[in-house]
Amino acid sequence: MTSLSSILKESWALVEERQDRVASHFYARMFLSDPQLRDLFPVQMDVQRGRLLGAIVSAIQTFDSPEESDSYLRALGRDHRKFHVTPEHYTQVKAALLDAIRTYAGEHWNALYEQAWNDVYDHIAAKMIAGAAADTNPPYWHAEVVNHERRGADIAVFTCRPLQPLTFRAGQYVSIECGYQPRLWRTYSIANAPRADGTLEFHVRAAGGGWVSSALVRRLRVGDMLRIAAPMGSMTLDPQSRRDIVFVTGGTGLAPIKALLDELTRYNRTRWIHLFRGERQRDDFYDRHHLDEIAEKFPWLTIVRSVSDEQGYGGQCGAIPDVVSRHGPWRDHDFYVAGSASMVNATLRRLTEMQIPSTRIKYDAFTDA
């Protein structure tokens, strides 16, 4: 019997090469059915155009294990409260989605495909709606920027203070909206463990096509207000584990790693921590002094830095997955990997080659595109 996942992928293949047109049809159909829906989306739709459709299709196509996805979908539903999404909106999105795919699939579309997309979408929507309904927190928090520092040509570190308490765990991330790019949200990891004063630190690199990241790096000022959505993510420390830890990071992937280190400095006495940090050149190691201070104060922390694109560097050289594999062995360690998607994927492949159990690996990949 053909699996539901196979049916979904087979049907999407009918329109995949024309997905730009599918996306245009999808939004046109949705906005025609309810013009007020336009107010839920950013002013600049060129970046947004493929995001919602792509997210929906990805969620539906990877619908292989409903039990495992339950908690994620509920969290996603809570997160979507920041868009003021109502149960009625899910119905409108579904109608537009099916109409767009059906239109471009043409005569190849059939009742089996229709039923499969209907059933899976309804299940996903039900979980998200339930998650949103069960959430007692506000849809988002207002936060004031209290510090903003440039740490390089394209990197900024800033601190903000939510006006209401925001509960999170070290290693989690949040969506941020700034007044310079209204209704455009992007996710960033919190770079500290929970503090008594409630402040949150973020590290942002201005991406080439990143509307939000560029605004946060180049335009954000002390006193500006941000909107922050509910924390998400599971790259958190395992309170039951007694294994030593390996952190692998690059770029602003340092943020969640710093948060995890911050938590460990408060209680760790028995676990050795190995931090591998890879950058292209030595000048890219922002916050180096602060990390060295932590290592000097806490002997359980070892830091290994590597550059991949600079001749004459006195330290380790090469891609960070290669550097990690030269050390070790790591069979009895927990791994946390954070950085660009390419770095994270390369590291995960290397860890698989090294036969590190997937249950001991947590990761986050960062992009603003």
Count of other CB atoms within 10 angstroms of residue 34: 13
Per-residue exposure over 92-106, b if at least 16 CB sit within 10 Å of its own CB, e if not = bbbebbbbbbbebbe
Q: Taking 80 as the threshold, does the pLDDT of residue 288 lie above it?
A: yes
360 conformational bin, left if phi > 0, alpha if psi -120 to 50, beta if neither: alpha
Cα gap 170→257, rounded to integer Å: 9
Query: Band of the pLDDT at 368, cuts 50, 70, 90?
Result: very low
Q: Note the pLDDT of residue 1.
A: 41
Residue listed under structure tokens 């007692």: 136
Question: Across-strand partners of 147?
Answer: 159
Q: Taking 80 as the threshold, does the pLDDT of residue 44 lie above it?
A: no
Q: Taking 70 as the threshold, does the pLDDT of residue 62 lie above it?
A: no
Query: Band of the pLDDT at 45, cuts 50, 70, 90?
Result: low
Cα gap 50→367, rounded to integer Å: 15
Q: Taking 60 as the threshold, does the pLDDT of residue 7 lie above it?
A: yes
Report, as an integer, the average pLDDT of 312-322.
85
Count of other CB atoms within 10 angstroms of residue 6: 11
Which DSSP category does 327 fall into?
S
Q: Taking 50 as the threshold, does the pLDDT of residue 369 lie above it?
A: no
Report, as an integer, the average pLDDT of 278-307.
93
Convert the pLDDT of each residue in 210-269 to its tens digit.
Answer: 789 999 999 999 999 999 999 988 899 998 899 999 999 999 999 999 999 999 999 999
Convert the pLDDT of each residue in 105-125 to its tens digit.
Answer: 999 999 999 999 999 899 889
Query: Under a CB-based contact definition with an 8 Å cutoff, are residues 187 and 204 in contact?
Result: no
pTM recorded for the entire structure? 0.83
Q: Note the pLDDT of residue 209.
A: 66
Q: Note the pLDDT of residue 68.
A: 60
Question: Across-strand partners of 13?
Answer: none
Q: In Å, what is the CA distance from 257 to each residue of 36, 74, 124, 320?
A: 41, 26, 31, 15
Query: Band of the pLDDT at 155, cuts 50, 70, 90?
Result: very high
Q: Taking 60 as the threshold, does the pLDDT of residue 367 lie above it?
A: no
Q: What percent of the chain has pLDDT over 90?
A: 63
Q: Note the pLDDT of residue 51.
A: 66
Residue listed under structure tokens 């500006």: 224
Q: Note the pLDDT of residue 41.
A: 78
Query: Under a CB-based contact definition with an 8 Å cutoff, are residues 12 and 57 in contact?
Result: yes
Report, as an integer, the average pLDDT of 151-170.
95
Convert the pLDDT of each residue in 321-347 to its tens digit.
Answer: 999 999 988 989 999 999 998 999 999
Q: Taking 60 as the threshold, does the pLDDT of residue 95 lie above it?
A: yes
Query: Under a CB-based contact definition with an 8 Å cutoff, are residues 109 and 11 in contact?
Result: yes
**If we measure between CA atoms, which residue out of 310, 330, 328 comes closest to residue 319?**
310
Q: Taking 60 as the threshold, does the pLDDT of residue 173 lie above it?
A: yes
Q: What is the mean pLDDT of the chain?
A: 89
